[in-house]
Amino acid sequence: MQEVVVREEVALGAEAVWAVIGDFSGIRKWAGLVEAESTEVTPKGKVRTLTMPGGRTVSELMTDEGPHHYTYTLDRPDMDAYFSTVSVEPGGAADCAIVLRVRFQPKDASQLEAATEGMTKFCRGNLKAMKRALGLA
């Protein structure tokens, strides 16, 4: 499986950062493109449904969570597998690192380079939005 990791040190404590970016059911705190969100517990686990511009909906299933991370998956027609992790690595009292990780496997192996480029752009855009929501951008 291919992996893209984007990491950036920020000058805020881990708890302050996690309060903004760590709520699986509160992605609108930082993700401005999300028009609406809802979360429900299903037999498979916690599912977050996002309404995007144009009325498109995306359903994401949480697969793992911990004190400063969560991982989710979603069905993508272009992927055999897709997992995205949002995490915060505590540093000192007033700093931490935001780490965004996407593991994926395109259905079409010839699309690996383009998919990697797209996932990198996706992670960098999310990091920028998170920093803006934290007052750091």
The average confidence (pLDDT) of the chain is 96
Whether 130 and 6 have beta carbons less than 8 Å apart is answered as: no
pLDDT at 8: 96
Q: Is residue 41 part of a domain?
A: no
**Per-residue pLDDT tens digits for 49-105:** 999 999 999 999 999 999 999 999 999 999 999 999 999 999 988 999 999 999 999
| pLDDT tens digits for range 17-42 | 999 999 999 999 999 999 999 999 99
- Predicted confidence at residue 117, as pLDDT, reads 97
pLDDT of residue 93: 87
Which CATH number goes with the domain that contains 113?
3.30.530.20
Q: Is residue 126 part of a domain?
A: yes
16 is in which domain, residue-wise?
A: 2-24+66-133
Distance in angstroms (rounded) separating the CA atoms of residues 84 and 133: 20
Domain membership flag for residue 54:
no
The pLDDT, as a whole number, for residue 107 is 97
| b/e map 89-117, b = 16+ CB within 10 Å | eeeeeeebebbbbbbbebeeeeeeeebbe
**Does a structural domain hold residue 32?**
no
The rounded percent of the chain whose pLDDT value lies above 70 is 100
Q: Is residue 49 part of a domain?
A: no
For residue 105, being part of any structural domain is answered with: yes
* Residue 50 maps to a domain: no
Domain count, the chain: 1
Q: What is the pTM of this model?
A: 0.94
- For residue 56, tell me if it sits in a domain: no
